Structure 1
Amino acid sequence: MVPRLERCGMCGAAATSGLAVPGADARFHDYDAAVTACVERRALREGRQVHARMVMARYRPPVYLATRLVIMYVRCGALDDARNVLDGMPERNVVSWTAMISGYSQSGRHAEALELFVRMLGAGCKPNEFTLATVLRSCSGPQNIHQVKQVHSLAAKKNFESHIFVGSSLLDMYAKSGNIQEARRVFDMLPERDTVSCTAIISGYAQLGLDDEALDLFRQLYSAGMQCNYVTFTTLLTSLSGLASLDYGKQVHGLILRKELPFFVVLQNSLIDMYSKCGKLLYSRRVFDHMPQRSAISWNAMLMGYGRHGIGHEVVQLFRTMTEEVKPDSVTLLAVLSGCSHGGLVDEGLDIFDLIVKEQNAMLTIGHYGCVIDLLGRAGRLQKALDLIEKMPFDPTPAIWGSLLGACRVHVNVSVGEVVAQKLLDMEPGNAGNYVILSNIYAAAGMWKDVFRVRKLMLEKTVSKEPGQSWIILDKVIHTFRSSERFHPSKKDIDDKIKELYIDLKAAGFVPDLSCVLHDVDDEQKERMLLGHSEKLAITFGLMNTPPGLTIRIMKNLRICVDCHNFAKFVSKVYGREISLRDKNRFHLLADGACTCGDYW
């Protein structure tokens, strides 16, 4: 009879099941059948009864059967019982050790998994490929990169480096540790690649925000015949969300439908997030409404989508509906407060915050306080925001002070702005954004000497401002524009077109906001400088290269300035074009001279 092999779901180790073992007595077959049944059914109570009967009968199970007991306890989540069996075994094999290490690893007890692996090596037991793949899962995170390299070295010595299980685990751990170059090197040397390894390397790029690289690699691998599962598409949708690439997002959604993949909740959540970050809330809501079951994450994704677009009333309404079906979590409350802040719903946001303080105070984090401070700052209640900072049970972070400084810029409050800016400069002396916002406050107030003083301070501290850039995707090509763009192939045509636009917009009532220029120059020169802003160049290029009626979709790495926002509103009105503009903080959907943000951002 040919032995039937089964692969252990916990450790990947091969173990014979239900076979006659040479020299075993009749009791072995009974115990083996009973333990195997408990493993398959994850029957912990019955498994303990079988084990107890062995002890009462003073039966000493051979290594194989003792290992089956370890696997049974691990599968049932009784890790302490499994460890007691392992520690009591007079002899252990690689399967025994690997099963226990796997149990610790999958339960998040990574330190114990690593400690047991070291003991295994000290006992002279040689790890196999499944042991190495298992222990690598306990080495995730930048702080454990040293352990990853040690296991990698061991795998290389044992010639397991290019084994599919070990290689996939290695590249996954390198990627999670931020070492994407080493992860790619491991991936490229794999003699064969399966769905897991391909998904792991794409995920590595996506987790580090290297969205273009993730998309390019997916296209290469898919063209080469890569098989995808729902995890692959979930990972890819994360990158498409970062790129705000609606066309590719639609294609991936269509691919999922054609492949008839099961719509796991996590995949549908990714679709909701992708569509909302691409400016298509209607599609997000359609996916959300057709979900057969929704988790708290599903509701949170939809809430954050509405908040990102400044549709505060939908955030509040959806939150009330959610409380009837699912228990809100900390992220839910964060999404609601943020949505109220971006939507200008000051009173509603404060009411919800007061309710949380009374009923769910334990769930409050510094992030919730930050949203309320941002809410008050946007509404111009700067002193109340300062009072809340002093009263909250957390030390204020740079992000909290930064949101308040931004509010001081909007409301041109020099006195509070100087106090807040000093806090930030002490905490983050190398953050150029803080200097720039303070300069904006001084410039808006006409305090040019102070503007020059801040600039001089930046030079002394060798702090440089992140250059503004915007991009638009046309025919699957990304066109990037920087402020005062000089190198784009269509530069001359864009310059000519934007001057033409300026004449039409001014005739319709557009007045440039010269306070957005941080230079003490004459008004004519300020207007010329404003024309060079990257989002204006991208919008103009979009008008030149898309047919009438098509939405112009722009992304920007920084917060849009007031002048560019007004420019986009007038373009939408004069030329009858809808403009979707996603900046660093939120979405702006402009149509017929109005924006969904209500000029409140």
Structure 2
Amino acid sequence: MVSRTLLKAVQDLPHRSLLAWRTIEVTEAGRAGQAERALGLFEAMPVKNQVAWNAALAALVDGGRTDWALSFFRKMPRRNATSYTTMIGGLSRAGGAAAARARVLFEELPLDQHNVFTWTAMVSCHARNGEPGKAVELFVALYGEFFARGMLPNAHTLSSLLKACVGIRSLAMALQLHAVIIKLVGEGARYCFVWNALIDAHAKLGVLSDAEKVFYGMQYRDVCSWNIMMDGYSRHKLVDSALHLFRMARKKDAFTWNIIISCLGENHLGEGALRLFIDLVRLDGQCSVNAKLNASIYTTVLHVCSVLVLLPFGRQVHGRVIKDGIGQSNVSVSNSLLSMYSSCGAMLDLEQVFEEMTVRDIISWNSVIQGLGQNGLGKQALAVAERALELKMYNGNTFIAILTSCSHAGLVPEGLGYFDGMTEKHGLELTLDHYISVIDLLGRAGRLEEAYDLLRKMPFAPNAVAWHTLLHSCLAHKNSVVGSIAAQELRALQPNSSRGDYERLVQGCGCSSMADETLDGNEKSADHTPGCSWLT
């Protein structure tokens, strides 16, 4: 903030200098997030030039007052390329339908008044808002005309385009941009972010060797460079290479540790991941260490605990979360705690974490319903489900969790009631996964003919998961008729599987006499697992 002493010192400045000083005040207030104060200072200016108008607009944008900024933008007596760049950037950060409004503004400015900054702002807006194809199309459409005017893309343009290349999975364009970057972009610390984006694009598009060439050829690398290359190795399951880079990195931040812990966890090396977490805990608080334990690291470690079913370790992590003041208000960490306690069968802990959460999302409710249901507490799961439905905190996966809970608890009438009310009462569209859940519900209860009838009449083509679900129920209840039909359908859907498992299942259903007729020796049963993701 500008001090009063300085304000007094410039009271006698010439008119132009005073105007510049007032504009600086507006800019500083905007950067401090004080949009109202910035606009008040602007309104108090006796004379306003284009720079002052743009500074006030930027203050509103920086303060996140997008709608106010757009209204102010429309009232400006004159707008130039800087005005449009600022407004497009603000709409870009607003997300949603704002990206389309930004494109309208971009098209509104005559082409001969555009510069590299308006061009870059619009390309970045498309890339940032899940429209990578439009970002590339815009760049290609204007490149020739802008090039003829001597207007070349800058480092920020190219960085946004590399992100768009990943979005549209275009390795060909990434390689072309690589050549452009070599010609136009320097290699100093100032442009490190562009080379980092290039490493990321090559790694995500499957050309890890090119990512390595860029990384090891860089004259200057920051901590992001190391993190992105390490993440590339992790994506390609090159654990040893990722570990080597981790050990070689002189500077490590929270992302560095999170990447390597995730890498080990995702590659079935959970114990190694937890050892690294312990190392980080021991380092936490040291002045020489930049990495701090954060929500992302805790989420990753709790997931590893869930996979390994390490309840004691998970409880220690929970204690550390509470100590750091992260848990109750951080929905991501709290959801990870719910998942961990659910996997470990600790239902009292699960319920306590849920009740203590100050912020809950739909995943939170789904996690509790699923956890209670899978651990044999079907009626408690339904009680939580009723709360979720009353609060409108549900989606299609909520009902998969509900139906699964009913299935495990044998609550057939209740499950069918929820299934029947999904569309009319709750406005949700039935999916194949919902039908499979009801087939499992009926099959576990021994109502195999009803399950088979539902499978035949559902508005989806039955997949292997649906037939497996029915077949396993037939095995449990020794129904030879429906079991042999399910086996035949599985053979048709999976002709390249082995014979043994299907034949064993059919024989277990009491229909061994039909086994040779229904199986040709090329089938294998898959595990009986739900064909859906409950929490996402």
TM score, norm. by length of structure 1: 0.62
Tell me which of 313, 319, 325 is aligned to 1:248: 313
AA aligned to 1:51 is: F
Letter aligned with residue 457 of structure 1: G
The aligned amino acid for 2:73 is: H
Which amino acid is 1:193 matched to? Answer: K
In structure 2, the partner of 1:179 is 236
Cα contact 1:86–1:96 (8 A) shared by 2:
yes
Cα deviation digits, residues 260-282 of structure 1 (max 9, x gap): 23631121111011111011111
Residue among 280, 285, 303 paired with 1:238 = 303
Corresponding residue to 1:51 among 73, 89, 94? 73
Alignment map for 1:170-569 (pairs within 5 Å): 178-181=235-238, 184=242, 188=246, 192-203=251-262, 206=265, 211=270, 214-215=273-274, 217-219=276-278, 226-261=291-326, 263-360=329-426, 362-431=428-497, 435-443=500-508, 445=510, 447=512, 450=515, 457-458=521-522
Aligned AA for 1:365? T
C-alpha contact (below 8 Å) 1:366/1:394 kept by paired residues: yes
CA displacement 1:358-383 (0-9 Å, x = unmatched): 43464211111000001111111111
Query: Do 2:132 and 2:167's aligned partners in 1 also have CA atoms closer than 8 Å?
Result: no
Higher strand share: 1
In structure 2, which of residues 55, 58, 72 is the aligned counterpart of residue 36 of structure 1? Answer: 58
Give the SS at the match of 1:180.
coil
Q: State yes or no: 1:72 paired with 2:136.
A: no
C-alpha contact 1:162 1:190 (8 A) present in aligned 2: no
C-alpha contact (below 8 Å) 1:241/1:273 kept by paired residues:
yes
Q: Deviations over 1:389-431 (max 9, x none)?
A: 1111111111111110101111122222121111112212344
Distance in 1 separating the partners of 2:451 and 2:518: 28
Q: Secondary structure at the match of 1:363?
A: coil
Supply the distance in 2 between the matched residues of 1:451 and 1:250 (Cα, whole angstroms): 52
Of 80, 86, 103, 1:83 maps to 103
Match of 1:474 in 2: none
Structure 2: distance between partners of 1:319 and 1:167:
45
1:285 Cα deviation from its structure 2 partner: 0.6
SS at match of 1:457: coil
Q: What letter matches 1:252 in structure 2?
A: V
- State the distance in 1 between where 2:409 and 2:161 align: 48
Amino acid at match of 2:460: F
Paired letter, 1:105: A
CA separation of 1:365/1:52 partners in 2, compared to 1, >3 Å: closer, same or farther? same
Equivalent AA in structure 1 for residue 253 of structure 2: D
Contact 2:479 2:509 in 1 (8 A): no
Shift of 1:311: 1.9
SS of the residue aligned with 1:227? Answer: coil
Determine which structure has greater relative contact order: mean sequence separation of CA pairs < 8 Å that are 6+ residues apart, divided by chain length. 1
Aligned equivalents of 1:289, 1:148: Cα separation in 2: 48
Q: Which amino acid aligns with 1:159?
A: M
2:477, 2:509 within 8 Å by CA — same for their partners in 1?
no
Describe the SS at the equivalent of 2:49: helix
Give unmatched runs, 5+ long, in structure 1. Answer: 10-24, 467-557, 560-583, 586-601
Structure with more of its chain in helix, by fraction? 2
- Counterpart AA for 2:418: I
Pair 381,46 (structure 1): closer, same or farther in 2 beyond 3 Å: closer
Q: CA deviation at 1:340?
A: 0.5
| In structure 1, distance between residues paired with 2:493 and 2:282 | 49
Q: Which moved more, 1:105-114 or 1:232-241?
A: 105-114
The alpha carbon displacement at 1:110 in A equals 2.7
Cα separation, partners in 2 of 1:261 and 1:293, compared to 1, 3 Å:
closer
How far apart are the structure 2 equivalents of 1:215 and 1:328? 34
- After superposition, residues 129-140 of structure 1 pair within 5 angstroms as 134-135=160-161, 137-138=163-164
Structure 1 residues 301 and 112 mapped into 2: Cα distance closer, same or farther (>3 Å)? same
Give % identity.
29
Q: Match of 1:241, SS?
A: helix
When residues 66 and 440 of structure 1 are mapped into structure 2, their CA distance, relative to the original with a 3 A threshold, is closer
TM-score (norm 2): 0.69
- The answer as to whether partners of 1:296 and 1:328 remain within 8 angstroms in 2 is yes
The answer to whether the 8 A contact 2:376-2:409 is kept is yes
Give the direction of change, closer, same or farther, for the CA distance of 1:241–1:98 in structure 2 (3 Å limit).
Answer: farther
Q: Distance in 2 between matches of 1:81 and 1:187?
A: 44
Distance 1:198 1:132, change over 3 A: farther
For residues 427 and 351 of structure 1, what CA distance do their matches in structure 2 show?
31
For 2:233 and 2:159, the matched residues in 1 are separated by 13
C-alpha distance in 2 between matches for 1:42 and 1:391: 52
Q: CA deviation at 1:435?
A: 4.4
Shift of 1:387: 0.8
Looking at structure 1, the residues matched to 445 and 404 of structure 2 have their Cα atoms a distance apart, in angstroms, of 13
Is the contact made by 2:480 and 2:509 (CA closer than 8 Å) also made in structure 1?
A: no
SS of 1:33 mapped into structure 2: helix
Contact 1:137 1:169 in 2 (8 A): no
Deviates more, 1:25-34 or 1:401-410: 25-34
SS of the equivalent of 2:133 reads helix
SS of equivalent residue, structure 2 residue 218:
coil
Tell me the SS of whatever aligns to 1:108. Answer: coil
Read off the aligned partner of 1:67 and give its amino acid letter.
T
